[in-house]
Structure formats: C-alpha cells, structure tokens
Structure 1
Amino acid sequence: MNYRLKLHTVFERENRQIKFFSSIILIVFFLFPQTSNASHIVGGEMSYRCLGGSTFEVSLTVYRDCYNAAPTAVFDPIASIGIFDANNNLVTSLNGVDSGQLLIPQTVDDTLEILLTDPCLFPPSNVCVNSMTYVDTVILPPISGGYQLVYQRCCRNVSISNIINPFYVGASFVINISETALLECNSSPQFMSQPPVFLCVNEPFVFDQSVTDVDGDSLVYRLCTPFDGASFDVPRPQPPNAPPYNEINWLSPTYTLDNLLGGIPLQIDPATGIMTGTPNTQGIFLVGMCIEEYRDGVLISETRREFQYNVGLCSDLTASFDAPSFQCGDLEVNFQNTSINSDEFFWTFNDPANPNATSTETNPTFTFSDTGSYTVMLIADPNGSCTDTSYMDIFLEKSAMEAAFSYVTLDCTDSVQLALVDMSIDSVHSVESWLWQLSDGQISTEQFPLFVVDSSQNLLVTLTTTSSNGCTEEAQQSIPINLIPSNLLPSEIIICEGDAIQLNPHPPVGLPFAYSWIPDDGLSANNIPSPFASPNENITYTLTISDLVNDCFAELQVDVIVLDNPSLSVQNETNGCSSEETILTANTNLTQANFLWATDAEFNTIVSDSSTLTVTPT
C-alpha cells in the first residue's frame, strides 16, 4: 500500500470561520377577551306622560361615562323595559308589548354640559357624560295596583367611592304607574335640568334639581338609596328581573344616606328641589333622589333619579406668560402665553417710544424701540366677568461678547485627546463662565478642558459663554476625530525564506492618513498602507501613520522572522524477515513540526499524525 506524508509547520496557520446561528424566539401573547359588562353606568331616570285614555308615553334616560368607559361599554341599541303588575308578575297580555317587554330603540343621544355654580371656576378636561333617551308609547289598561316599569343594567364604574363593590353592582331604574294614575290620566313629574356632572372640592354649590308637574300635584323632594339590579354575569337581563329590588349598600360608616359625599352632608330642599353642599373630599359618589307626587294628600307616584357625582379640583382663570426676563443683542421679544381657562387676551408693552402698542394675539412678538427695562402686562378674558392680570419685567441689553475657540489633538492612538482652547472676548464686560457640550454627550465648564474621544467621528463641539452682565453667546465647530488603531500590526510575522507577505492588510478606510515604513529593505513600497515584504533575513519594520488633518501621528512595529525552507525525508527500517513490520520515520530540518500520514494523495484517509508509521503487510 502507498502512504502519503504531509508536513504542517508550526508557522502555518489556518483561518477558521465561526458561524453563528440565530435562534428564533417565539413569544406568544395570550389575549383575554373583554366582557360586555364593562363598567360605564353613571345614572338614569324614568318618567311617563298620559297622552289620553290608556295611552302613555314612557321615557327612559341612561347616563354613561364617555371618558373612562371601555370601548365596548356602549348604550343598548334597544332598551328592554319590563312591565310588572302590583304582585311583581310580568304582564304579557298587553297589546304591542313583546312578552312583557317594551322594546324601545335609541331616540336621543346627547352629551351633558358641565355647569358650575361659580362661573370663574373650571372643571378638568377629563370629565364627560353621555345620555341616551329612549321614548315610546304603550297602552296600559287600568288594573288593580297599577304597573311597575323597570329597566336593568350592569355595571357601575369601579371608581365609585361611597358604595360597596361598585364594579359588581348594577342598577334598576323603576317607575310605578299607580292605579290612580291610570284612572285619572296622570303624568309623572318631569326634570327641568340635567344632573350636575362635576362639583369643585371645597367650593359651595347650588343646583336646581326641581321638576315640573303638568297636573299641579304637590311634590316632595328627598335623597334616597338607588336600587341594585342585573349582575356581573348577566349584565343585560331581557326581560328584567322581577321586583322587589334590593337597595345598594353604602360604604358605611363613612358614607350613608345622611352623608352621601362624606364630610359636609349633601342636602336637598324638600319643597323646591334645590340641592346644596360643600364637598370636601375628592372622589366619585353615587347620589339618588326621589320626588313624591301627592294628590289630595295621597301618594300617587314617585319619580327617581340617580347619578354619579364627580368631585375634584377646579381651576381658576389665570393670566400668565413666559418671556426672557433678560435678553441680549435683540430688541425683538417672543411672548409665550401660559394662561389657563381663557381664549381672549389683551397685551400692553409700555414702550415710551410707542405708547399705544398693544396686541390681542395669544402669543405675540414685539420689537422694542431701544434697550432698557420694560413692564409688560397681560389681561386674560378682558371682556369677561372673571378677568385676571399678569405683569412681567424684562430687561434688554446689547451684547459686546464674541464666543470663539480653537483645538489641538494631543494623541490619536486608539483614542484622541482633544484640548479645547477658549478664545472668547468681551470688549465691555468680562467673560465669567463657559459651557462646553460635545455631540457624544461629554460636557465641561472649564475654560480650557481636555476631552478623551474613543471613536472616529465628526464631533460637534458647542461653546456657550456668559459675560458678567448676563449675556450669552455661542460658537460651534465640527471637528474630525480620526483614531489610529494600535492593533493594525501583529507583534511578529513568520515567513519562509523566499516568501512574500502583505503587511497591514486591513488599514483604516476613508481616513486622511499618510504612511511611512522604515527601513524599506524588502518592501514593495515604503509610503503605502499595505506593502508586500520579502526580506532575506529577520527584520523589524516601523510604520508611522500621520493624520493629515489634525497633525497627529502614531508609530507601530512588526518583527518579520524568516525561516529556512523545510526539508522532509523518510527512513525505512524493517524488523526481521520480509513478513514482519516495517517502521517508517519522517525527518525534517525544523525544530517543531506536525506530521500527517495518509493512504491517498488528497489526504482524505489519515492513518497517523506522529513522526513514525508502523506498516504491517497484509
């Protein structure tokens, strides 16, 4: 069998590529469905009008939070009003009524206006209440005890402060049409105004919650506890659950029917329906009110309204503005209006050379006639009843300062030491402070700072100087930073006699560098980045790299070791007769070498990696 021997000398190196395989991480998001009973109920009320005979017009108004409610918390497209008799049984025999339900589509959609007792107070912008009114007619023949009309919905806002577990508490809006009302064609009282959407904490309020009654009956107003209704699991029962209904549970002892808002009790005048109070606690509070209707001293009807009162901080109308209190070198001043709760303004600039100079713009710009001190006045809502005025003194002065600087690069190997030299002058005042800002995030307040920059880049340097009179000036320069890597050359390169090798095969690209190699023995050129070297003996080359822009240089060295060309021979030694083993020994003139024995010229089958090979005849 033929054997091939391959010699790997110690100065031969094999480049290996390392492949990185990216793993894909799959992140699975589990989406939880939103329930249809998202909290949104703010309140509601129901009323009726007799249109003649046994025909009644039924009106239901439901209120919802249109700022904090979930997108799925919308008004019912059709309201299901259950009709029950005095024994709490669903009445299913009425004409035009579907299995005891009066199904009414949406009729009027509206957004409540936020009204405050004090016109100079303003609510926050994150308060919004929508109302939806459902109106339809129904024929209700007289029956013993009359009818109970009910609409139920869940759930209320979780943020209500004065009831227990508000998120799981629904609402039942109820009105009774008594037997007397049926026989005498009575109409229930009708509310004349909307409920109060927002109350200012620690501010007294007066709201008219009175009703009007076309029959001229006696009316008595009182606070009452709203009914619970529906459930978290069945938020929209159709038909509604049968009466009677439980009242909601107040979060006592802090909140009770006698103290719905906490602190100072809420009151309602029983004769006029005027509601008064001074809430001293911020929060969201459920309030119920009932209007009893008496005829000849007999209670014939009760109308209920419940609503969620928001109590929070209100803001005043405030005039304010921003402008530089001190400005240098420019007589034109920009004014930034920061007033609150006003859309109309009046400015005066008090320039003696232009005494009639005024403005009604929100954010005016005015050019003063000269340097000096001026008092500027702003009036917010000048034509309203809640006017506020703000004043500000500004001082204008000319600047005699000029900001300037130069720079020097002290070292540029692996990092650049950048010395900045302030050259600013002020012909009138002295320069008192310096602020240096570099685009890589470094800052300094020294007059002559030294920075270390560790990456090649176009570095933007900004100098802001301040003089003793407060004037500031700015100067900028873009400084090219060109780093010279210290690892461009290895410390040692080994070649065989007669071979050539490229020095510095991967020089920096695109940088303004000049190159100089010494000595030039065996070099293809001595002024290029990557010459080829073929010396006859060991030699040390010194490379000088110069930054032509910043007058900076670095010196690097590499030792080139020249080895004699290797020789290889094989010694054949046989033990005993021809049938015994043969020992092949490889010899070389190298002090260190690796050996490979193979049975083919391509070295596909390696049989030994030592200097000897024992061969046994087969």
Structure 2
Amino acid sequence: MFQSRFGKEGKSQEMERLRHALKSFSFISLFCLSLLQATNSDASHAMGADLTYTCLGGNTYRVTLSFYRDCIGISAPGSVYINVSSASCGENLGVTAFPIAGTGQEVTQLCPTAVSTCNGGVYTGIQEWIYEGVITLPRQCDDWLFSYSLCCRNAAITNIDNPGFSTFYLEAELDNLNFSCNNSPIFTNKPVPFACLGQQFCFNHGAYDPDGDSLVFSLIDPYQTSTTTVTYNGAFTASQPLSSTPPVSFNALTGDVCMTPTAMEVTVMAVLVQEYRNGILIGSVERDIQITVMNCNNTLPSLTGINGTNSFTDTICANEPYCFFINSIDPDTGQTVTITWDGGISGGTFTTTAGPRPDGNFCWTPTMAEIGNGPHCFTAKVSDDNCPMFGSQIYSYCLTVIGLDVDLGPDRSIACNDLATITATASGGTGNYSYLWSNGFTNPTQTLGVGTYVVTVDDGECIAMDTISVTNDAMPIAQFVANEPCVNTPVQFIDSSYVPFGIITNWSWTFGDGNTASVQNPVHTYNAAGNYTVTLIITTSLGCIDTVSHDISILPNPTASFLTADACVGASVGFLDTSTPPGSINFWNWNFGDGNTSNQQYPSHTYGSAGTYQVTLIAGDTSGCMDTVVQPVTIHPLPTANFSFNGSFCENNPINFTDLSVDANGIVSWYWTFGNDSTSTSQNPTVVFDTAGTYNVTLVVTNAFGCVDSITQQINIGIAPTITANPGVSVCNGDSAVLVATGNGTIVWTPGGTTGDTLV
C-alpha cells in the first residue's frame, strides 16, 4: 500500500471550540480594494482548488477538479490535464477533464446591489470552475497518484514569496489494490473565505467520505510542484499562515480552523484529508485555500453549539433518535440571518425556523454500522445579508456513535407442548449489562413457550433490543370470516383456520353477547346493534391450540312506518312514508293487499272493491338493513242512488220526488239538482217547473263514511192547456141551445162527457 508523502496523522483528543457572535462585512478602505485587485499580467489568479475522485465501477473513476479564480485574472482554461501515475506499477498516463455544464458561476457572497469584478464592478469576484474526466486505470496498484498543476497564484497574496509566479499543485492518492472501488472524501464548502480584521473567524471545509471512512485533517505547506512547497515569508508557517491573536487553531478531527486576524493580509494555506478504514490509510486528497483579511464594518454572525451550549460534539447511542438545536447570533440589528447545512451526515435531517434570527434543528437515528468509524460530522453555515458582502462563518458539529448489541439468535420452532431455552447475548458498550424481557424476566436466559419475546439490554449509557419468535411447526392458525349484518339477521361464521399437521377437532366460539357455539361454522343472530368481539379457539388432534378474535359490527335496523286513511271504493288512497331515520332510507317495497305493489316512497293506489286490506311496507337503508310494518286500510262500499217522481207534468204543477237510495249504513245527505237552477237537500222534495221542457234531475247521496253515489233521470214538463167558451145561453125547459168552445187541447164537456168544440 502507498505511503503518503505526508505520513500518517494522529487524531486529536478533543473538539471543543468557543465561537463568538461576530458578523460579516463590507469593504470600506481604499487599501482593502487595492489589496483585492492587485494583479500580475501572467498570473491566473487562482484562489483555491481541490482534486477528488469517484468510483464508477471496477477500475473506472471520475476525476473532479474544483478550481476557484479571481475574476481580474486570466480566463479559466477550456480544459485541464490531470496526470495519473503509479510508481510501484510503473504507470504514467493522464486524463483531460472538461468543464461541466453550467460551471463558471460566481460564488462571491455579495448583496444584490454590489457589483463584482466578474461583472465590471469593483468588489472582488470569484468564479467556481468544475472540470470532470473519466479514466479507467489499467492495473490495480496501491499508490495511484492523481495530480494537477497551474501557474500561477493570486499576485495579491502577502504571506508567501513571489505569489504571482508561484505555481499551483494538487494531488489525490488512491489504493485500488487493497481497497476496490474506493471514493475519495468530498468537500462541500467553497475554499475562498474572507475574514474580518480583529474578529474571530471560523471555517470548515465540510469534508465527508461517501463510503463512511474515518477522516483525519492536517495543515500542510501548499505545494508548487510534487516536491517543492511555497515559501512563507516572516514567521508564517503551514499551521500559522497569518497574523492572529490568539494563534490560529486547527482541529485535526474535524478540520475546523479558527483565527482572529490582527493584520490585513492575503494568505494561502493547504489542508490534507486522509481517509482510514479499520485503522488503515487508504487514500487522501488536498485542498489549497486562500484567506483574505479585510477591514470590516460588519460583525460576523455566529452559531451556538449543541442545544445553545459552547460544545460542538456529543456522544450518542446507536438506534436511538437524537435531536439538538443551534441558535444563530447577530448583534447587528436590521440584518437577517440564514442557516444552511452541508448534509454531511447521511440519514440526518436539518430544518430551520423562520425569522431574522433562526434556529437550526438537527435529528438523526444512527445505526449500529455508525459505531467505531470516528465522529460523524456536518457543517452549518450562518450568513447575514450585509452589503456589499455577506458575512458568514462555518461550524462543524460532530457526533461519536457508541452502542451495544444484543442477539437472541434466530427464531425458534418447537413442538406444541415443548419449551425453548433462549439466551440474550449482549456485546459492545460498557459491559455492565442489565436485562429486561417483555414478560418481566430480568436474567439473560429463560425457558419459553410459543410466543414473541423482546429483550432490552441497558449498559448505563445505551440500550439495545432484539425480538425472537418461538413458533410451532404444527401450530394451527385460527381464523374465520363473517358478514356484518343487521339486528335480527342471522350471521354466518365461516371457519377458515389452517393446520399444517393433524386435523382440527374442536371449535369453541364466543359471540360477545353471552352466547357460544361449538360447531365449525355456526350461525348466530344478534338482537341488539353494537360492536361485538367474536373469539374462536381451535384445538388440533395433536393438542395444539390457537385463538383469534375479531370485532364484528351489528348495524341497527331502520324503523318502517307510514300514514294513510280509510277510503271509498274507486277513490285514490295516498300512502305517506314516515320511516326513520330520515335521509338514510333508500328502499321501499309496498304490498297493498290486493295483489298490487309499488317501490315508490309516496305511492297512491285505487281499490276496486270494498273490504279491509293489509298494507305491508318493507323499508331499507343505505347499509342494507330493513324493517317491515303492516297496517290495515278499510275501503268502504258506495251507496246506491235512486229516486222516483210523480204529479201533473205540466208547467206550474207540483212534481213530487221520492228518494229510493239504498246503503247498509244509511244515507246521511242528499243533494238534488233539477236542471232549472234550483237545488234541494231534502230527502223527498217537491218541485214546480214553470216552463215546459225536458229536465235532467240529479240526486247525489252520501253515506256515513263519506262515500258518494249519484243518479240522473229526465223529466218532461208539458205546456198547460187554454180554453174559451161563448157566453152562457138561457133556454126554456125542453129547448136546446148550441154551445161553442175553442182551445189548444182536447175539449171535454161536462156534464155529459161529450168531446168536441160544439155542444147542442
């Protein structure tokens, strides 16, 4: 395996950092502007870079160069060549990497009204360029080296000699002989920080390993070539690259670097990130970073530690949810702070509250796989909205996962009446274990029958749980199905139990209403609505028993009812449905007792003969439940209307009408119309017609039940006769005389009975 030119680095023992509420900045001095805009005609003005790789499968890797340039330098290259070599295998090749789509974006944290040098303004502008290339390594070697160099650095750098002519060199190391398809650590934060004079400033690169390997950080001299480094001037070194009081601090376990600059300087520094798997160094990457110190009128924002404390580390237990909050601090009123995170802990969640001073909330449930891989870290960036340049700091939060494991072994199978001896085997943690089983037992070993058991082990710091099922291969599985009907409707219970061996010999049912049964498929009727718990216990020929319970809902029936009234033959009888509950009834079935039916809600029906009929209504609701009601309706017979009349059928002579109507229960009213605009309510009226003609005389009779009948007969009224006779004549006894009369009818003389118009 390769030996890094930097050697192995030890892990620091502590990660406590005190961070104070300080905040970002705006440029205010001409010195600061001239410092940021210093240039060299031959310099690229490189301000930072890192080189990483990702395994695509087998020996194929995607190599990524992230390059950061000052916008007043020369243009970014159209492509970059990354050298790939192995000394042990004698390989020397390379890959050309090209800009990815959408790269070249400005990453300067300027407010919207500030214009950077990337867009013709005066404020320092920085672009990020990302190049990617894919290479398939020809062999498996333990010392592959990816490297890249560029001329030249930013000429504005103050803490190294000849910065504008200092080359820029990066490398990354890979062992694909002993560790196949490894991925390098990845950086999530941009390497172009700005610090404020006299203010504490903390930065973290946000490095994490996609494979979950442990990372160790160290500050190194930035390289110009594979064998030469930059020359710091004065007392500056890799670990103290700028003027700071107190001195620059660095955490090898997290990569945190903190400083309080005492001079306006532009310096460079480099960080080496080595990845370890099971204590073995398997790869490394570098990052070259430029830090600019400025005179600011803005105080940098800051974040608290875990749950508002000054601690940024914690030890947590695997398989237990863990959450904490962090507070943002900003003494500059009128500014709004935001918090973002780099997603450095896979499976964790990070949310922020609303408002100008938000809180961040992190939650994570680590698994047993996270134990022993070093601390798991993420970074949170706090930024304000200062103008012209946002102020920001980056903090890391690291969690060390501990825990213990407990194993009850595989699930066990026993015979019906056998027992299994189960032992809880705990490992890891402090070793001082206590046990608690779900059945209350507190020793590691116990003898158990069929069932599911959970054991919880506690070592004073963490807990672990495991579950075991003790089953019986011949154990039957009790189960049944049933419909859910209505009150007073038979429920059919169907046994659907399963038994792998033997046969079921006994069924014991309890229906939840105090009734029981012992047949396989019983039928039971519930006489009240409600929820009932039905239990079936089955026993097999091998003596194995199983029990199952299901809840069954018995629905209430609706109440069928209707209103109607007695009527007469031939009258339309209305039926008014009054079934309850209203709104839920959706089915009606009427039987009128005479062979006729209807499914309307409000039907009407006409009976053709008298009698008492039993009317039946079956009402059903939306649940399918039904109720039946029967009511009688009486249909009364009609009376028989009849009459006779007599008298002189001439005008102005009285005519007598005699009622001859018949009804078993008696006629209670009569109504006569005579065709001459006269009426009568007498039973036997007398009427005089004053004009000759034919008249329709109608009698309407009503019996005691309101039933009506009528009859109409014609009557002819003749014209009354007229007669004129000559005056009387006097004669002697024995003589005769002639009498003459005229009229419009037959003339009859009296005495004598002679007819004709002349009498002698």
Query: Which of the pair has more CA radius of gyration?
Result: 2
Compute the TM-score of the two structures, normalised by the length of structure 1. 0.39
With the length of structure 2 as denominator, give the TM-score of the two structures: 0.32
Higher relative contact order (CA 8 A, sep 6+): 1
